[in-house]
Amino acid sequence: MNARRRVVVTGIGAVSSLGNNVVDLWQKILNCEAGITKLGSEFKGLPCQVAAQLPREQLQIEKYLSKSDLKVMSRATQLCIYATEEALQTAKLDPKELNTDTLERFGVCVGMGMFDLSEVYGAWQQLQKGYNRVSPFFVPRLLPNMPCGHISMRHGLRGPNHSVSTACATGSHALGDAMRFIRNGDADIMLAGSGESCIDPLSIAGFCRIRALSTAFNEIPSQASRPFDKNRDGFVMGEGAAILLLEELEHALQRKANILGEILGYGLSGDAYHITSPSEDGTGAALAMFRAIKDAQINKDDVTYVNAHATSTPAGDRIEAQAICKVFGDHVNKIRVSSTKGHHGHLLGSSGNLETVILIKALATNKIPPSLNVEELGKDICVNVVTKPEVWSHNSQQRLVALKNSFGFGGTNSSLCVASYIS
């Protein structure tokens, strides 16, 4: 029986409220900075007045995209293109220099959790003025698979072209699916991740109506997202994109790539419970973690850190913490846990992939990123939460192993097992 193909990470790119590159993102997380700010006047009257918005004046999107590109691409697609360029640069891989055979085994798996509702509202307003006022690019700009399509067309990538849209688990599912394409022999290289840009009045109003967003810290935005804290009261919407370049190990070694980490396993599950709330017993979350550990072919005691999905909602953080305790049992006392959403907000469908980029940096630097704004740990939180950057100690195998959790509306769950690379 042939040995299972190993999948490593050789490139990372990201744009978020903490900056337009991975270096700035990671440094600001270590500095315990938050990219959450006050919303503008167009959001007046809404219960939530904060969001993790991109520093757009610093984002030179025209560096990669022409005016005609901007017309046909949604904002989320533009951000995916931007992050892709950084991922390719860090991987030192230029598709223009690859031969046809390689391009045919180079795929894309990039998704989007939800499209920008302002696009729909704007098109409706134009329709009231006449049919011909509706842009011919309206529908293509909405489609969740268009980031995937544009990346593929831009670089001539003819491998698997696969898009994921599973709410807030989108980014993690995209990475897991891409890993399996490589492991199963469908591709040798994959660009994977997600983009999200839907901070608009209608989206904020919609999430406010289901009481999902923080409203208690409108005057102190930097403290609004506080995963695991006693006074957490809802998540803070964020925007951005993150793309990772995954590669089959031997392919990476042959081109002498710098290997940043390895994806060992991938677990999926469904809550089968409620459209927006996780199941109270945490069964769905626990199943995803159990399956990721099994798929990684490791023991649960090998895991020493969990990068949590925890979005700063009262129920969600509690249930995930209980699920982590259920999975690891007595070993949970040796598990460190944190959620970085206090820094960059909740990017919905682009949260799991952005947080995996952060996890890759944590592996590379032996530093565990902190949970921000934990002034007093909630009494219902049963895990060891990291509140300041910590040194990440190796286990007996001299390898760092972590889980990355992501959960979405509709009860869709994903867990990735990610580790430092050893030959």
Identify the H or E element spanning 317. Answer: helix 314-328
Helix axes 75-91, 146-155, angle to 10 degrees: 40
Angle formed by the axes of helices 283-296 and 314-328, nearest 10°: 40
Active-site residue flag, 198: no
What's the per-residue H, E or C state across the chain?
A: CCCCCCEEEEEEEEEECCECCHHHHHHHHHCCCCCCEECCHHHCCCCCCEEECCCHHHCCHHHCCCHHHHHHCCHHHHHHHHHHHHHHHHHCCCHHHCCHHHHCCEEEEEECCCCCHHHHHHHHHHHHHCHHHCCCCHHHHHCCCHHHHHHHHHHCCCCCEECCCCHHHHHHHHHHHHHHHHHCCCCCEEEEEEEECCCCHHHHHHHHHCCCECCCCCCCHHHCCCCCECCCCCECEECEEEEEEEEEHHHHHHCCCCCCEEEEEEEEEECCCCCCCCCCCCHHHHHHHHHHHHHHCCCHHHCCEEECCCCCCHHHHHHHHHHHHHHHHHHHHHCEEECCHHHHCECHHHHHHHHHHHHHHHHHHCEECCCCCCCCECCCCCCEECCCCEECCCCCCCCCEEEEEEEECCCEEEEEEEECCCC
Tell me which DSSP letter residue 301 carries: G
Query: Which residue in the list 80, 109, 168, 417 is annotated as catalytic?
Result: 168
CA angle 376, 235, 289 (to 5 degrees): 85
CA distance 88 to 353: 16
Phi, then psi, of 339 in degrees rounded to 5: -130, 130
Q: Supply the residues annotated as catalytic.
A: 168
